Amino acid sequence: MPLYCISVRKLSLVVIQYFRYSEEVAQKNNRRLNKKILERLIIIHNLIKSGTYPNVQKIQSYYCEKTGYEQVGVATIYRDISTLQVEFNAPIAYDPYKKGYYYTDSHWDLALNTISQDDIFYLSAVKILLSDFNNSPFYSEISRVINFVTETKLSPENTILSRIATPPAPGVVIDKELLQNIVTALEHNHIVEFDYIGRWDSPGDAPKSRRVRPYQLVLKDGMYFLFGWDETAWNDEDEKPAGGERLFFLPNMSRLRLTEDSFELPPDYDFTQKCSGSKLGVFISSQVDRYEIEFYGSARPYIKSFVWVENQEITDCEEKDVTRISFTSSQYLPLLEWILSQGKNAKPLSPQWFVDRWKEEIRGMVQNLGENA
C-alpha cells in the first residue's frame, strides 16, 4: 500500500479530538488523555458498537478480560462514557428496557478506531523518513502526533519498522525562534523583513535588508528555505527594485521581523510548479534551456535509474560506452553541481554557455591543485 493511502481526514479527526480533549479538558478537570484512558475509550466504544447493549458491569468485566487488569472502578467507566459523549460527540444513549448502552447512530465510529494497521505502519515510517529534520520544531510536533496515534492504537508493534532506516545526515543549525516566526507569517500571510547574506555575496559584505511575502517553506535534505516574493529584488535590466520570486536559506537570515502588513497568496505560489519539470534541487530561474549531457562508465546505470526531469530523453551507445540524456530545465546551478559530482564520467554538450561554465569550474579545480596537478 503506498504512503498516500493514509487518510488525511482520519488523522486530522484523531489529532483534533486528541488536542481538544488533552489540552482544553485537562485544564478543566486535570484529566489528561493518555494511553491507558484511550485504551478504555476504544474498548468501551467497540463494545457499545457491537450492539450487545452493555451496562457498566458488563463493560467492567469486558475491559478486565481484554486488558488483564484485575478491576476498574464504576466511576471510571461512567467518566469514560461521559468523555465519549461530550468530548468525542459520540451519540451514546441508555436503553432502559434492554438496560444497556447503544449508539443512536449505528454508523458513528471513533476516528482513531478507523485507522488500519497499514495506516499505523506508514505513519510510523513517515516519522523515520522525516528524521533528517529531527532538530526542528516540526519534527517534534509531528512526532508527538504520530506517537500518540501509533502508541495508543490497540495493536502489536510492527517490528518491520526496525528494518527501515535513513542514513545519518548533517544537521543544519536553525534559529528556532526565526523559524517559528516564519511559520506564523505563513499562517497569517504577513510580510516579513529580515537581513540576508546571499550565496553570491562576497566575504565581508554587509547583510542586505529584504522585505518578503512568504509563500512556502521548502525542505531539502535537512535544509530549510523560504520561498516567496521579494519586494526588494532587483533584476539586471531594472533601474529600481521590481520584485521577484526568490529563495532564502534560513541560516543566512537574521533579525527577522514580523510586520502587520498582509498580502493575498497568489494561486500559483507552489514552488514545485516553478522548476519546469526538473527534480534537481532547490533552485529557480526564469531562464529555461535545453541541455544535453553524456555519461560514461559507472555513471551510466546510475543515470538511467532515476527520472531527473519530466521530459528527459535517454539514449545509449554501447559501442562507445556512452549514455546521453537531454531535457529542458531552469535549474542550471543544481545541474552543474550534479554533473561535477560525477567527475570524469560526465560531460555537458550544450548549451554552450553552460559548457563554458563547467570548463571554468574544472580549470578552477586544476588551479587549486597547484604543484600537485
Residue that wins the pLDDT comparison between 318 and 303: 303
State residue 204's pLDDT score. Answer: 81
Give me the chain's average pLDDT, please: 82
The band of 229, judged by pLDDT with boundaries at 50, 70 and 90, is very high
Segment 282-296 mean pLDDT: 92
Grid cell 533584476 in the structure block, residue: 235
State residue 223's pLDDT score. Answer: 85
Grid cell 510510523 in the structure block, residue: 124
Taking 80 as the threshold, does the pLDDT of residue 361 lie above it?
yes
DSSP string, 69-136: -S---HHHHHHHHHHHHHHS---EEEETTTTEEEESSTT---GGGG--HHHHHHHHHHHHHGGGGTTS
State residue 10's pLDDT score. Answer: 44
User: Phi and psi (nearest 5°) for 348?
Assistant: -75, 145
Q: Measured between alpha carbons, how far is 354 from 45 in angstroms, rounded to an integer?
A: 65
Segment 135-162 mean pLDDT: 63
Residue that wins the pLDDT comparison between 316 and 139: 316
**Residues forming a β-bridge with 214:** 228
Q: Measured between alpha carbons, how far is 16 from 218 in angstroms, rounded to an integer?
A: 26
What is the distance between the terminal CA atoms of the chain, rounded to a whole angstrom?
A: 53
**Residues forming a β-bridge with 324:** 294, 315
User: Phi and psi (nearest 5°) for 104?
Assistant: -70, -25
Residue that wins the pLDDT comparison between 64 and 5: 64
Residue that wins the pLDDT comparison between 373 and 165: 165
**Residues forming a β-bridge with 216:** 227
Taking 80 as the threshold, does the pLDDT of residue 145 lie above it?
no
State residue 358's pLDDT score. Answer: 97
Q: Write out the H or E segment, with its range, that includes residue 142.
A: helix 137-152
Taking 80 as the threshold, does the pLDDT of residue 137 lie above it?
no
State residue 235's pLDDT score. Answer: 72
State residue 44's pLDDT score. Answer: 93
Q: Name the grid cell of 149.
A: 496515534
State residue 260's pLDDT score. Answer: 95
